[in-house]
């Protein structure tokens, strides 16, 4: 049996820095004339409205077993920006992020919702990600093992400037990225809160890892959704707040175009 040179008890820790994979995105996906700026948005309801209202141009369709994932382009204030929905969960989201990079985009802002681990993160309160706890598996294929991964300071500053210019309140903080939303146990929630995590979601640490590995710019804005800070879960009907979601998409567009 041939074992990796860094064979360990846990396969997820066997990081291989080899730059080229057997299925390399840039070899499989043809580069197109895509805007350099690209928004990764988790709000399908918002995207459907933008596609219709702004007559968005479909620029690419990526076929996965879950269906076709489409990439679009619009013009706003004389500038072009691409956008796509990354699906849910780190593996799919990272794979579609890889697709966008292979197509030719280089500057990314992601916007999505998150669970609150701190009651001070009210419904709709914005969080700019400073770092992410790597409690998912995907990021370990892009970066050596570590407990956390740091977001880019330039991207944080640009997002902050945009939000401040709109008088939008926000905090800059740590998120907990997990693969298993149904295994967010009271003990784990308490532990993550103790190490400074304000919120929880499923993709951020993988996004940051892919961005660092591929050398592209990336930042993420989250809005406070369901509440996991108490003894019982409170959905707060977070997915129905279309006003917050629409505003966040356009804030992400503005921040992305400022990169």
Per domain, the residue ranges of the chain are 32-257
pLDDT, mean of residues 113-128: 86
pLDDT at 179: 97
Q: Classify residue 89 by its DSSP letter.
A: S
pLDDT at 124: 77
For 20-62, the pLDDT digits (tens) are 999 999 999 999 999 999 999 999 999 999 999 999 999 999 9
Average pLDDT of the residues of the chain: 92
* Segments of the chain assigned E as strands: 37-41, 57-64, 67-76, 79-84, 107-116, 126-135, 148-150, 170-178, 197-201, 217-227
pLDDT at 121: 81
Q: Band of the pLDDT at 118, cuts 50, 70, 90?
A: confident
For 126-170, the pLDDT digits (tens) are 999 999 999 999 999 999 999 999 999 999 999 999 999 999 999
Tell me the whole-structure pTM to 2 decimals.
Answer: 0.94
Report phi then psi at 129, rounded to 5.
-75, 125
Comparing CA positions, the residue from 148, 126, 146 lying closest to residue 199 is 126
Query: Structure tokens of 252?
Result: 């992400």
The answer to whether residue 246 scores a pLDDT higher than 80 is yes
pLDDT, mean of residues 187-200: 95
Superfamily of domain 32-257: Nucleoside phosphorylase domain (3.40.50.1580)
Q: Band of the pLDDT at 5, cuts 50, 70, 90?
A: confident
Comparing CA positions, the residue from 122, 101, 104, 127 lying closest to residue 218 is 101
For 211-244, the pLDDT digits (tens) are 999 999 999 999 987 677 777 776 666 666 668 8
């Amino acid at each position: 049996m041939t074992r990796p040179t860094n064979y360990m008890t846990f396969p997820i820790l066997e990081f291989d820095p080899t730059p080229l994979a057997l299925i390399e995105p840039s070899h499989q996906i043809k580069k197109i004339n895509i805007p350099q700026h690209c928004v990764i948005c988790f709000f399908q309801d918002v995207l459907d409205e933008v596609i219709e209202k702004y007559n968005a141009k479909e620029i690419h369709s990526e076929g996965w077993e879950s269906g076709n994932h489409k990439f679009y382009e619009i013009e706003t204030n004389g500038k072009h920006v691409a956008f796509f929905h990354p699906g849910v969960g780190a593996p799919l989201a990272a794979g579609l992020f890889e697709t966008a990079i292979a197509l030719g985009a280089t500057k990314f802002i992601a916007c999505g919702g998150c669970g609150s681990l701190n009651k001070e993160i009210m419904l709709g309160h914005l969080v700019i990600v400073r770092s992410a706890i790597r409690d998912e598996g995907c990021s370990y294929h892009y970066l050596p093992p570590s407990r956390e991964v740091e977001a880019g300071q330039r991207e944080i500053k640009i997002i902050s400037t945009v939000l401040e210019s709109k008088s939008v309140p926000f905090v800059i903080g740590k998120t907990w990225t997990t693969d298993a939303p149904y295994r967010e146990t009271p003990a784990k929630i308490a532990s993550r809160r103790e190490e400074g995590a304000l919120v929880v979601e499923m993709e951020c640490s993988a996004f940051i890892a892919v961005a660092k590995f591929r050398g592209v710019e990336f930042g993420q804005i989250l809005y406070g959704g369901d509440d996991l800070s108490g003894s019982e879960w409170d959905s707060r009907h977070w997915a129905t707040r279309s006003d917050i979601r629409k505003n966040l998409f356009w804030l992400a567009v503005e921040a992305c175009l400022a990169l």
